[in-house]
């Protein structure tokens, strides 16, 4: 992943949840996992320490069946496994149990690309986000669309620690749904740890 390439604002808004998760500037989210004796907690904050989402689990934080809640504890978006035989994650609205997106491997042999198919609430069309990465890497670039000149709308960088904390830094372009991008980061982590 080229660290010098910056995310760019797409021509259209990418929205699956709520407009409050669309920002007019680049946002860097920190997905922080802390494992303790009473389970794992996951917080998602920006680099200014503003909290966007949190989840708590009795097992490892970035696994199947996560529901992200806002700062008031309201359910915003969830992600769960949709297949036992192949990698397929469903991103859904936990309040309506409605599918918002699915994340799959590009093809059965793919080891360096995941594709997220979703219904964009801003355009009312089916669209795709493509996550590209090197096979041994825990970093990825997220592109809006499948074509060669698709805009880079997200960058995910992994940082590990020996004291039980793992972090992803997720750079999100303006006009891109922060909740959806957070779920893509979780899906990527699940895929890399399968």
Map out the domains of the chain as residue ranges.
19-192
More confident: 123 or 159: 123
Tokens standing for residue 80: 């769960």
For the segment 44-59, what is each residue's pLDDT rounded down to a tens digit? 999 999 999 998 764 4
| Full-model pTM | 0.90
Q: Strands, E, within the chain: which ranges?
A: 27-36, 39-46, 51-57, 66-69, 75-81, 88-93, 98-105, 113-120, 125-132, 140-144, 152-160, 165-172
Overall fold of domain 19-192: Porin (2.40.160)
**CA 157 → CA 139, 154, 168, distances in Å?**
5, 10, 5
């Amino acid at each position: 992943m080229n660290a010098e390439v910056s995310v760019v604002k797409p021509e259209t808004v990418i929205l699956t949840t709520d407009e409050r998760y669309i920002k007019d500037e680049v946002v860097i989210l920190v997905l922080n996992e802390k494992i303790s004796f009473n389970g794992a907690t996951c917080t998602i904050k920006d680099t200014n320490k503003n909290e966007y989402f949190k989840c708590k689990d009795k097992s490892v934080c970035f696994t199947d069946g996560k529901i992200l809640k806002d700062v008031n504890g309201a359910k915003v978006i969830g992600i769960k496994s949709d297949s036992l035989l192949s990698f397929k994650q469903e991103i859904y609205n936990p309040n309506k149990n409605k599918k918002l997106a699915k994340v799959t491997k590009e093809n059965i042999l793919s080891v360096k690309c995941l594709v997220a198919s979703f219904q964009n609430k801003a355009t009312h069309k089916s669209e795709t986000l493509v996550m590209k990465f090197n096979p041994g890497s825990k970093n990825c670039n997220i592109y809006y669309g499948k074509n060669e000149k698709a805009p880079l709308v997200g960058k995910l960088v992994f940082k590990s620690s020996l004291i039980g904390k793992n972090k992803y830094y997720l750079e999100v372009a303006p006009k891109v749904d922060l909740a959806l991008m957070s779920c893509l980061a979780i899906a990527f982590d699940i895929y890399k740890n399968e």
